[in-house]
Amino acid sequence: MRGVPSLNEPGRADVQIWAAATGGGHLSVAQALATALAAGSEGRVSVALDDPTQNPIGRTARSLARAYGPLVRTSPALWGVLFRGFSSRGLSSGMDRFLLRQLGPAMADRTRLRSPQVIVNCHPLLGPAARSAADAATVTGVAPALITVMTDLVGGHQGWLSPRPDAILTATREATDWCLHHGLPAHLIRETGLPIDPALAPEPALPGGRRELRERLGLDPETLCVLVGGGAEGVGSLKRLTRWLGASGLSLQVVVACGNNRRLLEWLRRHPPTVPTLALDFQASLTPWLRAADVYLGKAGPSTLAEAAAAGLALLVTEALPGQEENNGAALVAAGAARQVGGREDLLQTLARFCCPGDPLLAELQRGSLAWSRPGAANAAAEIVLSFLAGGGGRAVSPPRARTADG
């Protein structure tokens, strides 16, 4: 069976997936979908995963993509201003035109090389260039179908809606309602959940399985394990959170997922906390660590929350990037899947309850996150993509015709 493709791997493909390394969420969603497509088709469908901001596709937008990490780590408020500005109708149109000029020709060349039947877009800023590339790959008057996978949990960026896709896959009821509110026809919307690593799907408990996993990762099998994270870029008050945990006096162990935040990683290695702490550099997949932990603590990134919920962790949300993440915590709290902690005292009181064997809070939050989660979302999304292939995949270019996922 054909495995998950490497990024920007050359060659033809039945399905081309576009994503960009602005943070890790878009790429992790794309990779989860590619994994599910390979499994769901038993290797009969070839999949390509392309990032237009990386070599050898597009050089011009690489500096913009590289600026994302430092910006959200050092100036999240400025990022929020930019996000809201470029999500407004006027500035969004200007950004669309800019990216179409910068990325359109290279993306069109790559799509012609792929000759796909279906194109999947996993980034709110790539839609116009992905549509242009699809039209450039037209054969006998039929262009590849364009499916958008909306990687935001609640909604908020106008880029998801422009241009109108042949289908849009949403993560939650809130995201579906946002699409409807902004005029997208209901027959184009498929609420699948946010695609995450299929390996996070529930599996039968095996005797000693979790204990063996913890021991293999260097963790204590019995002590409460808190996974601290800030997404692929290591965003948020991770240093402060780690200091609070280290001085808490509680019986716990900590895993800090630093991502691309090298300063945080080096600081933790120079100043190890008093509680047992593992500092991780960027991980291609956090799945083993999610399976081993009890609690997720950190910012409200959509992919991280979806993955941690599928692993059954209690979710403690401390902050969020302005714009795309600021409503995520409240939505999960309302669903009984998370708790927002407002400072040191609130955090330590909550963790103290987790450490108390007779307190039900930890188990309640873990049950709530599992109930909210959709661990099969990648498989559900893959079924929709495969249905386009089974139906012939394509969209008439002249005149344009919308194509639904159910034919």
* All residues at 6 or more sequence positions from 260 whose CB lies less than 8 Å from its CB, including other chains: 69, 232, 233, 234, 282
Tell me whether residue 5 is in a domain.
no
Asked whether residue 91 falls in the same domain as residue 179, the answer is yes
Asked whether residue 273 falls in the same domain as residue 367, the answer is yes
Q: How far apart are CA 252 and CA 227, in angstroms?
A: 11
Asked whether residue 40 falls in the same domain as residue 179, the answer is yes
Q: How far apart are CA 366 and CA 157, in angstroms?
A: 30
Asked whether residue 246 falls in the same domain as residue 145, the answer is no
Asked whether residue 147 falls in the same domain as residue 252, the answer is no
Burial (CB count within 10 angstroms: exposed 0-12, middle 13-18, buried 19+), residue 23: buried
Tell me whether residue 185 is in a domain.
yes
Tell me whether residue 134 is in a domain.
yes
pTM of the predicted structure, to 2 decimals = 0.86
Tell me whether residue 50 is in a domain.
yes
Residue 17: beta bridge partners?
Answer: 49, 120
Cα–Cα distances in Å, from 380 out to 65, 171, 287, 377? Answer: 29, 11, 20, 5
Q: How far apart are CA 262 and CA 269, in angstroms?
A: 11
Q: Where are the alpha helices (DSSP H) in 247-358?
A: 262-270, 287-292, 302-310, 328-334, 344-355
Asked whether residue 159 falls in the same domain as residue 29, the answer is yes
Residue 147: beta bridge partners?
Answer: 120, 167
Q: For 194-283, list the strands marked E by DSSP.
A: 224-229, 252-257, 277-280
Tokens of 256: 């800090």
Asked whether residue 230 falls in the same domain as residue 182, the answer is no
Whether the CA torsion 3, 5, 9, 15 is positive or negative: it is: positive
Tell me whether residue 2 is in a domain.
no
Asked whether residue 186 falls in the same domain as residue 215, the answer is no
User: Into how many domains does the chain fold?
Assistant: 2
Tell me whether residue 336 is in a domain.
yes
Asked whether residue 177 falls in the same domain as residue 218, the answer is no
Tell me whether residue 255 is in a domain.
yes
Asked whether residue 189 falls in the same domain as residue 216, the answer is no
* All residues at 6 or more sequence positions from 123 whose CB lies less than 8 Å from its CB, including other chains: 18, 19, 20, 22, 26, 151, 159
Q: What is the C-alpha end-to-end distance of the chain, expressed in Å?
A: 28
What are the pLDDT tens digits along the chain (407 aa)? 456 788 888 899 999 999 987 766 888 999 999 999 999 998 899 999 998 887 655 555 666 666 655 655 666 666 566 666 666 655 556 556 666 667 778 888 899 999 999 999 998 888 888 988 888 877 656 789 999 999 999 877 788 888 899 999 999 999 999 999 999 999 999 999 999 998 887 665 555 678 899 999 999 999 999 999 988 777 788 899 999 999 999 999 999 999 888 999 999 999 888 899 999 998 888 999 999 999 999 988 899 999 999 999 999 999 877 677 888 988 999 999 999 998 999 999 999 999 999 999 999 999 999 999 999 999 999 999 999 997 655 554 443 333 333 33
| Residue span of the structural domain in which 296 resides | 203-372
Asked whether residue 362 falls in the same domain as residue 380, the answer is no
Asked whether residue 360 falls in the same domain as residue 387, the answer is no
Tell me whether residue 227 is in a domain.
yes
CATH classification of the domain holding 131: 3.40.50.2000
Q: Residue 327 phi/psi, 5° resolution?
A: -100, -5
